[in-house]
Amino acid sequence: MAVYISDAGDGRIIARLTGEIDHHSAHWLRMDIDTAIQDRSPKELLLDFSEVSFMDSSGVGLVMGRYKNMKERGGRVVLANMPEYIEKVMNLAGMDRLLNER
């Protein structure tokens, strides 16, 4: 599990998640992403799931927390490159409705 954070320009950052997202790893991912949000004050946080090999419900909590953090700052979260099973989990949790807000 790791997260690689980069600036995408125009007030956007990309957090590329890798490996497994479970209860233990979600804690560290939250800390790293929240630090980047605090330090860079982006208007958009893109979470890239292309290299995530496993995710349990902790991943939904990870996204929900970052959504709340960004919303409080007037920003938004975008999910990208989700494997089909992760997209299904996010949709079942109602995340598609929250994250498609403008």
Interval 33-67: pLDDT, tens = 999 999 999 999 999 999 999 999 999 999 999 99
Q: How many CB atoms lie within 10 A of CB 12?
A: 17
Residue the block writes with tokens 């079942």:
92
Q: Which has the closest alpha carbon to 16: 1, 25, 4, 2?
A: 4
What is the domain range of residue 18?
Answer: 2-99
Query: Contact at 8 Å (CB) between 61 and 26?
Result: yes
- How many domains is the chain partitioned into structurally? 1
Q: Taking the model in full, what pTM does it have? A: 0.92
Which domain CATH number covers 16?
A: 3.30.750.24
pLDDT tens-place string over residues 88-98: 999 999 888 77
